[in-house]
Amino acid sequence: MTLSSRPSLIQIAEQAGVSPATVSRAFNRPELLSEATRTRILETANRLGFRPNRVGASLRSGSTKTLGLLLPTLANPVFAACFEGAEAAARGAGYSVMLATTGYDRQREQAAARHLLEHQVEGLMLTVADPAANATLNELEADGVPFVLAYNESTTHPFVSVDNHAAAGDMLEQLVGLGHRRVAFVSGPLADSDRAARRLEGVLTRAADLRIPTPVHLSLATHTAAERTRLQSLLSMPHPPSVLFCSNDLLAAAVIAELATVGIRVPRDLAVCGFDGVAFGALMVPSLASVYQPSGEIGHAACRLLLDALAGQPGTSRQLPHRLWLGGSVTAPHDSLTEPALTPDTTTTHPTTAPLPAPEPALIRRFTPC
Amino acid sequence: MTLSSRPSLIQIAEQAGVSPATVSRAFNRPELLSEATRTRILETANRLGFRPNRVGASLRSGSTKTLGLLLPTLANPVFAACFEGAEAAARGAGYSVMLATTGYDRQREQAAARHLLEHQVEGLMLTVADPAANATLNELEADGVPFVLAYNESTTHPFVSVDNHAAAGDMLEQLVGLGHRRVAFVSGPLADSDRAARRLEGVLTRAADLRIPTPVHLSLATHTAAERTRLQSLLSMPHPPSVLFCSNDLLAAAVIAELATVGIRVPRDLAVCGFDGVAFGALMVPSLASVYQPSGEIGHAACRLLLDALAGQPGTSRQLPHRLWLGGSVTAPHDSLTEPALTPDTTTTHPTTAPLPAPEPALIRRFTPC
DNA sequence: GGATGCCCTGCAAACGTTTTCATCACCGCA
DNA sequence: TGCGGTGATGAAAACGTTTGCAGGGCATCC
């Protein structure tokens, strides 16, 4: 019933009649001790409720066994999944993860990175707006802090992502295969996301390959009232797009909701697809067509890459395979019969494109508890 | 270009020609120093790129300025928002948050709590299955570790949540006001979530108050194939429910998707509502009717409560106000004309029930970057 | 001019652990 | 009997910081 704080290693040593060093060894190098002393120590520790103090250990050993993870926001389930993947990988290696979110704000990004470094994280995993020009990254580099990018792609820094260029191209190809010719790519400000920029590029490149009209790019900025009219004016052009390819699923959902308010039905009047493959997209009605990227694995792989680097095994950047999920939000355009459709075998194939397995049969299960 | 790790406070002291103590004070108690020495130290620190080592500081001061947050999963945006709220509150007070997820697993819960405590977090915020009987909580209590529950309600432990009982009752009342009489409450196993249990209770109590037939409870467990048929058999009863009240939004979305596969349209054939008020619910078409709970603020308030307790100002549990969001997934039942509707003023009113402000006009903005 | 007090700074211990080095007992072997 | 080796443990320093205590300098006041 005492509120006495837990005993330290020293008290265990005294109680067990050994030196502090021996107690330490009982936990970290048990093979060095005799059976007898080891069990005696473990028993005393148990009895007194000993809990090793990582702060002391970290200070002395110079290793906190902790990694930092810097993400834009957890409101996007993509990043939430990334955290869980990274955390699992870290835990598997005896490491902890310290998470911080930036809200897409450069100031907070830098502040958070420094904060994590003050906590002596041994390395960092992060997603930034544009790795090619990023103050935080430069600082890390200058400091010699090991780090790995997640979701970003870079020629100069280690990263884990999907091949955004190819993935977006693959989705476009599917759309074209369904008969779509007039495509609009919808995104936020490209300066805020190199992913969106690459996806747009991928769409444009593949469109040229497939010889369809150059897709329109609609970049929605902050001010929504105005953006709403821009979206509508896009759709009231003489030859409006038959499909909107949104740079991420959250945006796609928002766009679909927006369209609904002006009476445009998806996919009947207009097809819409997204990018990310978030779980709730599969629950939408119709389900959201999307490019699935394995977020949990991205986090996991980024963490592994970082851990390997810390262990002196630098490893190499990875592009994990994406999958196309052709949900009900995309169908053939209603005027598709009036335009010649490409035959499937004129389209190029990509090794990373594979049909997504049947929709998760146990979604209910995963969402049941709370 | 040197990979030299950052200098310690000692090097700064040497360079600036002062004692380590003075350097420490330059950062923590600057008012104690003369203008001259303070600026000299700060300059040297800046020049050498000094970064205070929190591990050393924590060890000496006995305070890590870090709190633990233990949540079931980030896959549910409710908890993601909770983290961001808690993190903001902590940051505002100079604290950090260390997050761990349990995946609704008791073993992991306990392990994670211990892990956080080894990291010397000064207190814990957590969401558990049932606070009335929880090994982790008992251990914390026995250890005298300060903690605050989030989302859980408890008579014996401090918590921050909404009034689940009243909130669910209020939603039921709205449904009844629309003409619904046959209600089914759908949840996961109640043992996994005291929130769901309280919501069910709230529904049953209010149903009795309003003198409508006792709502049916459908508890969906793990095995989905079987659950699917249970759901369908519920709907093929002689007098099937006209509305499904799901214990959370993710479940509601999954149920709606499930219904769609068997040709049941929402809300035309059956109304569905959820609980949580997650952002993507507002983006669904039709938008998901739900009980909105302020997750960010729950996290924020829980953190404040914990911080106050650490500061010796114990504070009291809080139930934050909920809001009803009457999305398009709920309309009057198609047979409502055949049944007498209660007049609005026969229904009781609750202070925490207030109409939700117009749907977030800038949803697109929030989801644009990635 | 000496006592008083305040402002600024330094000394040194302490936080809890890890780790290097040394010690000691004991065994086997020549 | 002596010697090298091995296995088990201890002594003590170190990690980077904070903080109680003390002291020196300087001004103020009687």
Beta bridge partners of B101: B71
* Count of alpha carbons within 13 angstroms of residue B70, beta-carbon side: 31
* Residue B352: band (very low, low, confident or very high) from pLDDT cuts 50, 70, 90: very low
User: Same domain, yes or no, for B338 and B206?
Assistant: yes
Residue B188 CA to residue B195 CA, distance in Å, equals 11
Residue A156 CA to residue A128 CA, distance in Å, equals 14
Q: Which DSSP state fits B29? A: -
pLDDT at A228: 72
> Cα distance from A106 to chain B (closest Cα, Å)?
13
pLDDT at A90: 98
Q: According to DSSP H, which parts of chain A are helical?
A: 9-16, 20-28, 35-48, 54-61, 77-92, 106-118, 135-143, 164-177, 194-210, 224-235, 249-261, 295-310, 363-367
**Identity of the residue numbered A161:** S
- Phi first, then psi, for residue A204 (nearest 5°) are -65, -45
In a domain, A244, yes or no: yes
User: Same domain, yes or no, for B131 and B227?
Assistant: no
In a domain, A132, yes or no: yes
* Residue B334: band (very low, low, confident or very high) from pLDDT cuts 50, 70, 90: confident
- Residue B185, classed as helix, strand or coil, is strand
In a domain, A58, yes or no: no
From the alpha carbon of B61, which nucleotide's C1' atom is closest? Answer: D18
pLDDT at B232: 79
User: Same domain, yes or no, for B251 and B308?
Assistant: no
In a domain, B264, yes or no: yes
| Biggest CA-to-CA distance, chain B | 90
Whether B226 shows a pLDDT value over 80: the answer reads no
- Phi first, then psi, for residue B150 (nearest 5°) are -120, 135
User: Same domain, yes or no, for A78 and A20?
Assistant: no
> Strand ranges (DSSP E) for chain B?
66-71, 96-101, 124-126, 147-150, 159-162, 183-187, 216-219, 243-246, 271-276, 289-292, 318-320, 323-325
Q: Which range has the top average pLDDT, A341-345, B206-210, B363-367?
A: B206-210
A185 within 8 A of A203, measured Cβ to Cβ? yes
Q: ∠B7-B11-B45 over CA atoms, to 5°? A: 70
**What CATH number did the domain enclosing A11 receive?**
1.10.260.40
Cis peptide before A294 (omega within 30 of 0): no
Whether B312 shows a pLDDT value over 60: the answer reads yes
User: Chunked in runs of 10, what are the mean pLDDT values of chain A (370 residues)?
Assistant: 73 96 96 94 96 98 98 97 98 98 95 98 97 95 96 97 98 97 95 95 98 95 68 81 96 94 92 97 96 98 98 95 95 66 40 43 48
Separation between the CA of B320 and the C1’ of C17 (whole angstroms): 43
User: Same domain, yes or no, for B147 and B178?
Assistant: no
In a domain, B24, yes or no: no
User: Same domain, yes or no, for A44 and A142?
Assistant: no
In a domain, A73, yes or no: yes
Residue A234 CA to residue B186 CA, distance in Å, equals 42
> Cα distance from B346 to chain A (closest Cα, Å)?
32
* CA-wise closest residue to B167 among B279, B81, B293, B272: B293
Residue B323: left (phi > 0), alpha (psi -120 to 50), or beta? Answer: beta
Q: Which residue has the tokens 């308010």?
A: A261
Q: Which two tokens stand for residue B140?
A: 């914390």
Question: Residues by CB within 7 Å of nucleic chain D, which ones?
Answer: A 17-22, 25, 32-34, 36-38, 56, 59-60, 62; B 8-10, 20-21, 23-25, 27-28, 50, 52-53, 55-57, 59-61
User: Same domain, yes or no, for B217 and B130?
Assistant: no
* CA-wise closest residue to A272 among A185, A207, A177: A185
Q: Which two tokens stand for residue B217?
A: 């409870």
Closest CB from B193, B280, B364 relative to A220? B364
- Taking each helix axis from N to C end, the angle separating B194-210 and B164-177, rounded to the nearest 10 degrees, works out to 40
Which of B 21-80 have CB under 7 A of nucleic chain C? 21-22, 25, 32-34, 36-38, 56, 59-60, 62
Residue B9 CA to residue B29 CA, distance in Å, equals 15
Sign, Cα dihedral of A221, A222, A223, A224: positive
* Residue B369: band (very low, low, confident or very high) from pLDDT cuts 50, 70, 90: low
Mean pLDDT, range B140-152, rounded to an integer: 96
pLDDT at B62: 96
In a domain, B6, yes or no: no
Contact between A222 and B369 using a beta-carbon 8 Å cutoff: no
Sheet holding A243-246, edge to edge: A216-219, A183-187, A243-246, A271-276, A289-292, A323-325
pLDDT at B223: 52
Enumerate the residues of chain A whose CB falls inside 8 A of the CB of residue B361: 224-225
In percent, the amount of chain B with pLDDT more than 70 equals: 88
* Residue B138: band (very low, low, confident or very high) from pLDDT cuts 50, 70, 90: very high
User: Same domain, yes or no, for A286 and A309?
Assistant: no
**What CATH number did the domain enclosing B82 receive?**
3.40.50.2300
When comparing pLDDT for B370 and A61, which is higher?
A: A61
User: Same domain, yes or no, for B157 and B306?
Assistant: yes
> Strand ranges (DSSP E) for A264-304?
271-276, 289-292
* Count of alpha carbons within 13 angstroms of residue B160, beta-carbon side: 24
pLDDT at B237: 82
- DSSP string over B194-206: HHHHHHHHHHHHH
Which chain C positions come under 7 Å from a protein C-beta? 7-20
User: Same domain, yes or no, for A355 and A310?
Assistant: no
User: Same domain, yes or no, for B201 and B344?
Assistant: yes
Residue B203 CA to residue A28 CA, distance in Å, equals 54
* Alpha-carbon dihedral angle through residues A240, A243, A249, A251, given to the nearest 10 degrees: 0
Which chain D positions come under 7 Å from a protein C-beta? 7-20
- Residue B216, classed as helix, strand or coil, is strand
When the pLDDT of each residue in chain B is averaged and rounded to a whole number, the result is 89
**Alpha carbon A75 to chain centroid, angstroms:** 12
Domain of B217 in residue numbering reads as: 164-294+321-367
> Cα distance from A273 to chain B (closest Cα, Å)?
14
User: Same domain, yes or no, for A281 and A352?
Assistant: yes
**Chain B residue whose CA is closest to A186:** B368
A298 within 8 A of A266, measured Cβ to Cβ? no
* CA-wise closest residue to A189 among A134, A129, A109, A255: A129
In a domain, A55, yes or no: no
**pLDDT tens-digit profile of B273-308?**
999 999 999 999 999 999 999 999 999 999 999 999
| Segment among A299-303, B121-125, B153-157, B221-225 with least mean pLDDT | B221-225
Enumerate the residues of chain B whose CB falls inside 8 A of the CB of residue A119: 54-55, 96
Split into its structural domains, chain B has a count of: 2
Beta bridge partners of A99: A69
A345 within 8 A of B202, measured Cβ to Cβ? no
